[in-house]
Structure 1
Amino acid sequence: MSDRPRTLGELRQSGYQSVSVKQELRRNLIGKLRRGETLFPGILGYDETVLPQIEHAILSQHDMLFLGLRGQGKTRMLRMLVTLLDEAIPVVVGSEIQDDPLAPLSRYARDLVAVKGDDAPVEWIGRDQRYHEKLATPDVTIADLIGEVDLVKHAEGRHLASEDVMHFGLIPRSHRGIFCMNELPDLSPKIQVGLFNVLEERDVQIRGFTVRLPLDLCLVFSANPEDYTNRGRIVTPLKDRIGSVIRTHYPLTRELGMEITAQNAWGDRDGAHVVVPGFMAEVVEETSRLARTSPHVNPASGVSVRMSVANYENMVSSAERRAILAGAATAVCRVSDLSQLAASTRGKLELLMSEEPGQEDRLLERLIQEAIKNVFDQRFTTKQFRNFVEQFEGGRTLELHDRMTPGEVLKAVDGFRGFRGQIETAARELAPELQTGETEEGLLAAVAEFVVEALHSHNRLNKTPKSGRSVYGS
């Protein structure tokens, strides 16, 4: 930015013209649309639903409220709005509210321009400096957002009737930029009322000062749908002043959810190379999807995408730990690794039932079993493994746990006539790309556990937990 104008006179000679921040967002959005650029890189599943709402709101120069449950990418998209701002804009040097040199608002900037004229110093700020964010909490005050009389400035000799004695809050300091208020309903009603003038008149008034500051900014908010209803905690006049309400949602398909999880989860480990078969990734995502529709989970709270990500990472960690303990270089995730998902799920489900000890863990176990059943049923039937099930009727048992090496799992199942051939056939159906090299044995062990647990979920086999192990029988 060293070659940009450094004084007001140079800025005028350059032909620079000021535009409002909403005109700036609109102009840059139009440019991206014409060039076919992605508006929010990394945001998946919103191309036909959410993104058009955002584009229309920006083209209409609206303030926006992003309405959605937790883990739906609201804050991430709000922060990415800065990519629609210009690379840099000029401001008066020393201004607290990013004054436009061509149209200064604050007393400081007006006096500086009046005294120095074309020699008034100008500096340039990047787009990241033009975004300010505040998490709404009950203790947020009008002084935090709008401003307050600064008693220190008053003690220095400035008169209380002067603008110079004011301390600007976050909203005036966001002048010529974007101000985001996260979780708007958590703001107390009297503070919400304080936003009326900002949204409607674009001005702020501090402690009854007659001075008005016609701010240029784009206001964006986030909220939970439950708090937005008539019984919610956003005052009606404030809702009326917000131009567009953008509804977000969870991934519409299991495949899309898996793609989002793979994008955000940490899967590349340095302890061992961990391979996640596609059917295991499906089980993790299906568990979250079932939780969202479970009658035992509070739908107003939702089940965040973060649950899928955290569960995926814990499953990978379980496989990694097994490989490290066995001195193996490669590990393949399998069903027994799902026993470690309780820790990464706790706190991510808000239950409707009474909070008895272990209730959340028991619900998760049932959800995982149902997820395995759903993924299994898409490819196989229990009749295919009738011979295997019949061998348990004579009292035979099969013991599995997450510490067993792939070789130990296969040795345990090899005692069942014909089952090895069945899992090899199933492996070709589930993950043929892993049936060679160092992952072959791990894949067969993973498929074996998957089939056995699926048969249990279909009530073809009983399962008895025993000291961290699972014992299957008739």
Structure 2
Amino acid sequence: MADDNASRPTTLGALRDSGWVSRPVKQEIREHAIARIAAGEPLFTGVSGYEDTVMPQLENALLAGHDVIFLGERGQAKTRMIRSLTGLLDEWMPIIEGSEINDDPYNPVSRYAIDLVAEHGDATQIDWVHRDRRYGEKLATPDTSIADLIGEVDPIKVAEGRYLSDELTLHYGLVPRTNRGIFAMNELPDLAERIQVGLLNVLEERDIQIRGYKVRLPLDVILMASANPEDYTNRGRMITPLKDRFGSQIRTHYPLEVATEVAIMKQEARSLDISTPDGDISVSVPEYLGEVIATFSHLARSSNQVNQRSGVSVRLSVSNFEALSANALRRGLKAGERNVVARVDDLDALPASSQGKIEIESLEEGREGLILQTLIKGAVLTVFKDAVDPAQTRAVVDAFEEGAVAHTGEDITSDQLAGLVAEVEALREPVLALTGGDESPAALAAAVEFVLEGLHLSKRLNKDSSGSSATYRGRV
């Protein structure tokens, strides 16, 4: 983070002479939002699928100067959007040096800063804070207290000889320490109702009160919050006066299209490419298998065997994408391959990365695995029907009905599977259509197995499975 201190004023007098203008944080964010909207730029990057739904609402809220609460199930980028709003703040902001609550040099509110300016005037020292330090966040937990959020008496300061009536004995909480910035409360309904009351003044009167002190701190803060709709609307765990004080309520959602979910997976998933003394090993996932992963999540979100109130997070897709890649890497290491491409075989890794992220609703014990396997097969079949032209597979089915047999599994190398293209000439057309003309053994092997599995799930080929191995043959 570059910090050119030499070019910034260091005293209150120099700050005035520089022409710096103080403005409320909501106005500051509004001005930056206006500039980006006018330039046709997004408010922030790294969030996909909200361009026509959530973003217009958020832009409206920021232009209106509203505090915002995001409603949505888990894994809908609520926290990421809130954290990204720091990009709409000035990069650097002046404060009274030593201030715990980012006192505005022109309008200090803490006793410490007020006394310092009264004593030193224009010679008061100024410090500069980066916009990343102007963000505060708290996850609502049962043990969260008013002291955490607002403040409390500091016994150490009292022990130093100050009177309890002295404002300097206060230890400020997270909210005042985020003065002139953005404060976020995640999972707000989980905050105890008596603690929620402590936020009422922050949202409306824009000040705080600490115990019995006659202290009023007119805070300049924009409050953002996230909540699960079930908690927010059904359980009634968020007090009505607090709901009323948020200017905008924005509903988030999961990706509406498979392509959007695929883009998010690729953005968020960790690369599994590795370097070894013998050279680099690359791991890739074909576009059609990436679509299988995303489709699996979409099918889960519409399944009556999955608890929809708990949601099916996009994190499921990311974890499954990584698990698929990891299984492919493990298989490739055993086979001594340098260029590894994920195959249908590697989908066997998905149940382990899916359980715990999906709440299965089943009357029978132990059916979770079967339900997940059904969803995976449904995803493969859905993508197969979209990705492979039926006209290209008729000759493949004919070849297998005439006696062709294919063996697949983790112990079958890419070279062996790719060899099927030469043995069953009819496979070449649909396989090369999937690979985009890539004739490397790993790419051909992945496409061959996808075509065979798709034909089996379409009930056009038989499949005999034994552990991780399978044999495909004609149905006659």
* TM-score, structure 2 as length reference: 0.92
Partner residue of 1:405? 413
What amino acid does structure 2 have at the position aligned with 1:455?
L
Structure 1 position 2 matched with structure 2 position 6: yes
SS in 2 for 1:222: strand
- Shift of the 383–389 alpha-carbon distance from structure 1 to 2, 3 Å rule, reads same
- Shift of the 230–308 alpha-carbon distance from structure 1 to 2, 3 Å rule, reads closer
SS in 2 for 1:296: coil
Structure 1 position 426 matched with structure 2 position 436: no
What amino acid does structure 1 have at the position aligned with 2:90?
D
Q: For the residues of structure 2 that align with 1:419 and 1:188, how far apart are their CA atoms? A: 68
SS in 1 for 2:274: coil
Q: For the residues of structure 1 that align with 2:208 and 2:465, how far apart are their CA atoms? A: 64
What amino acid does structure 2 have at the position aligned with 1:329?
R
Q: For the residues of structure 2 that align with 1:269 and 1:355, how far apart are their CA atoms? A: 41
Structure 1 position 220 matched with structure 2 position 224: yes
Q: Which moved more, 1:169-178 or 1:464-473?
A: 464-473
Q: For the residues of structure 2 that align with 1:17 and 1:267, how far apart are their CA atoms? A: 46
Partner residue of 2:125? 121
Residues 235-384 of structure 1: pairs in structure 2 closer than 5 A: 235-267=239-271, 269-270=273-274, 272-353=281-362, 356-357=365-366, 359-378=367-386, 379-381=388-390
* Cα pair 1:388 1:419 within 8 Å, conserved: no
Q: For the residues of structure 2 that align with 1:421 and 1:341, how far apart are their CA atoms? A: 32
Q: For the residues of structure 2 that align with 1:98 and 1:114, how far apart are their CA atoms? A: 17
Partner residue of 1:78? 82
Measured on the aligned residues, the alpha-carbon RMSD in Å equals 2.1
Q: Deviations over 1:367-413 (max 9, x none)?
A: 11001111111234475644255357xxx9754212310233355x5
Q: Deviations over 1:311-348 (max 9, x none)?
A: 11221222222222222221222100111122221211
Partner residue of 1:456? 456
Task: Report the alpha carbon displacement of residue 281 of structure 1 after superposing the two structures with TM.
Answer: 1.3
- Shift of the 373–419 alpha-carbon distance from structure 1 to 2, 3 Å rule, reads farther
Task: Report the alpha carbon displacement of residue 27 of structure 1 after superposing the two structures with TM.
Answer: 0.8
SS in 2 for 1:82: helix
Task: Report the alpha carbon displacement of residue 82 of structure 1 after superposing the two structures with TM.
Answer: 0.4
Task: Report the alpha carbon displacement of residue 291 of structure 1 after superposing the two structures with TM.
Answer: 1.0
* Cα pair 1:464 1:470 within 8 Å, conserved: yes
Q: Deviations over 1:182-237 (max 9, x none)?
A: 11111111111111111111110011212111100000011112122143422221
* Identical counterparts, % of pairs: 50
SS in 2 for 1:371: helix
What amino acid does structure 1 have at the position aligned with 2:154?
D
Count of equivalent residues: 462
* Cα pair 1:349 1:360 within 8 Å, conserved: no
* Cα pair 1:423 1:447 within 8 Å, conserved: no
Task: Report the alpha carbon displacement of residue 266 of structure 1 after superposing the two structures with TM.
Answer: 2.4
Q: Deviations over 1:143-180 (max 9, x none)?
A: 10001111221222211122111111000101000001
Gaps of 5+ in 1: none
Gaps of 5+ in 2: 276-280
* Cα pair 1:7 1:120 within 8 Å, conserved: yes
- Shift of the 433–309 alpha-carbon distance from structure 1 to 2, 3 Å rule, reads farther
* TM-score, structure 1 as length reference: 0.92
Q: Deviations over 1:11-56 (max 9, x none)?
A: 2222222100000000111122223333211222211111111110
Task: Report the alpha carbon displacement of residue 446 of structure 1 after superposing the two structures with TM.
Answer: 1.8
Structure 1 position 55 matched with structure 2 position 59: yes
Task: Report the alpha carbon displacement of residue 460 of structure 1 after superposing the two structures with TM.
Answer: 4.1
Task: Report the alpha carbon displacement of residue 6 of structure 1 after superposing the two structures with TM.
Answer: 1.1
* Cα pair 2:399 2:426 within 8 Å, conserved: no
Q: Deviations over 1:83-110 (max 9, x none)?
A: 0001111111111111111111111111
Partner residue of 1:198? 202
